[in-house]
Amino acid sequence: MVLVLAAIAASGSLRERGFDLYQTLLPRDVPLDQVAIVAIDEASLASQGRWPWPRARVGALVEAIAESGAAAIGLDLLFPEPDASADGAASDAAFAQALARAPSVVAMTLGADAPPVRVEPKAGFSFIGAGADAFDRGYGGGVAPIAPLAEAAGGLGVIRAFADDDGRMRAIPLVWAEQAPGMPLRHWPAFSVEMLRVAQGEAGVAVRMGGAGEDAIKVGGAIVPLGDGRLRLIDVPASPLRVSASELLANGSDGTLAGRIVVLAVDAAGLDRYHLTARGELRLGADLHAIAVSQMLAGLFLLEAPNARLAEFALLAVGGLVILIALALLARRPVLVALAALGVIALPPALGFAAYANGLLIDWTQPSAGLFFVALAGGYGLYRQAERRRRTLQTQFAQFLSPEVVRRLAETDARAALAVEDRPITVMMVDIRGFTALTESWPADKTVAALNHFLAIANAEIFARDGTIDKYLGDAVLAFWNAPVEQPGHADLALDAAQAIVARVDSENATLTARGLPVLSVVAAVETGTCSVGNMGTADRVDFTAIGPAVNMVARLEQQCKQLGEPVLAGPGCAAGANQPMRPVATLDLRGIDGPTHVFAPQQ
């Protein structure tokens, strides 16, 4: 379990992919009716010329958006150098005037090795709680618009964002800190935050750093939880309203932009970067800014549940314990173990999706993966245990039980099956008639060869009917049925085996004669009764055997076969339990048996 915890703790990408699956299977809806994108698209480039355009033309586009009634205009474009066109100074001046007359926000970015930003932030920051130094101060500078444009714009916002290790853009930082050498610490808002501030006419933003999940940023009437300092994007399937820049320039305005926060961006192949999102789609950066603004306006966020990590580890620990208990209690029922394990493994996804429906994130992948490996390891342990049990049973009982009985025994509780218990069984004893005389008149090697021939026949016929060989008694074989596993119709199985052995020995005597071996004649006795069956013996030697009246009965009946002229005799218990017809043969007083005994034989 410790190794599982350590492995999943290092698997952050798996965690994020699990959150992605929430959005893929159950995408959430975020209203996009308060945002729009004005795209400098292929049609715009075809009608207005290749990018970059003269700044005056961009200014005209800003004025057209402002004329349309936009609440704020965010230019997802960088202007770090003066306009390089022939009338660049005039063009920049015209652009600056357009920015000054509109509720505009111009993009900037920060970098670790960039020169200090030479313009001042437009947004004021007030910090409550931990203070201004709570954010990453590893940025020593950046790239900002040239001074005339920065001064004219209503806001400056950072457009830089970082994809996760797998290349997916899942969240954007909301507050950035710049610490240039020899300069005071400055904070910059994210592009989306700055657009929202300008749209609401606010002078600044408030940042609360209370810890324990209370960190948030307040922009006008919008309060945005900071989480890990970033806003996790809800990857909505829909796209914001799009208006082509060429149409807007041609018409002078577009009423559909009224009241919206508009992002102006280049949307043409090779001119802007597309980002891989949580649902696996490629989207323009402007789409992500628009979605972020929409989330803040609607108050819809994806936040990790309080103590999410603890809850995830609890799911793993408790679920793992349940699986281990199921493995211990249901070891003989692998199907039930599998169903229990599947139910436990499915619990984290079920809880995760339920939390996601309420805007909270609990990772299901790592607990489920850990539980899967716990179940896999436990299942493998059960398999190895079953294999060891099967090999042990095969080693111990292969000579006395048929392969089918050994297999069935391995699938049951072998320890209970082999314990001593009283149960009804059918006992058979088959014996070579006149074997003592054979040993006196035939050489030992030929006598043993004939005996082995008989024993091979007896073994084969007993195993063919799933009988258990108790022991060899010299030239006799003692076997029984209905133990160690239950066998319906065990009386008939024993009678069939007895008759088959007698018939087969008779039919194969010609083979013995051809080999120069003595001819054999065998008789058998069968009886059914309750006996004590199980492992019996001492610490040095244990045998699986049976003792009881039925065993004594077959020993006495076998001795009566010659006197009664019957190759197979059955006691009253066997005759009563058999389905095949039986005929009475005699009533005898048998030594060691109380009262007269009715003796039967199979109906020929």
SS (H, E, C) 208-256: EECCCCCCEEEECCEEEECCCCEEECCCCCCCCEEEEHHHHHHHCCCHH
User: Residue 182 has what pLDDT?
Assistant: 78
The stretches in the chain having pLDDT less than 50 are 1-10
The span from the CA of 400 to the CA of 141, in Å, is 87
List Cα–Cα distances, 195 to 107, 294, 504, 602, in angstroms: 10, 11, 100, 102
User: Residue 86 has what pLDDT?
Assistant: 77
Question: What is the three-class DSSP state of 504?
Answer: helix
User: Residue 290 has what pLDDT?
Assistant: 96
Q: Return the DSSP state at 401.
A: B
Region label for 580, one of left (φ > 0), alpha (ψ between -120 and 50) or beta (otherwise): beta
Q: Domain map of the chain by residue range? A: 29-301, 308-395, 410-602
288, 291, 259, 554: which is closest to 431 by C-alpha? 554
281, 308, 307: which is closest to 365 by C-alpha? 308
User: Residue 1 has what pLDDT?
Assistant: 45
Cβ-in-10-Å burial (0-12, 13-18, 19+) of 563 comes to exposed
pTM: 0.67
User: Residue 573 has what pLDDT?
Assistant: 96
User: Residue 402 has what pLDDT?
Assistant: 63
Q: Which two tokens stand for residue 336?
A: 């039930």
The span from the CA of 88 to the CA of 68, in Å, is 27
Q: Are the C-beta atoms of residues 80 and 145 closer than 8 Å to each other?
A: yes
User: Residue 387 has what pLDDT?
Assistant: 73
User: Residue 594 has what pLDDT?
Assistant: 86
Q: Give CA 355 to chain center in angstroms.
A: 19
CATH of domain 410-602: 3.30.70.1230
Rg of the chain on CA atoms, in Å = 45
Q: Which two tokens stand for residue 159?
A: 């457009």
User: Residue 5 has what pLDDT?
Assistant: 44
User: Residue 189 has what pLDDT?
Assistant: 94
Q: Are the C-beta atoms of residues 527 and 570 closer than 8 Å to each other?
A: yes
- The torsion defined by the Cα of 590, 596, 602 and 603, in degrees rounded to 10, comes to 140
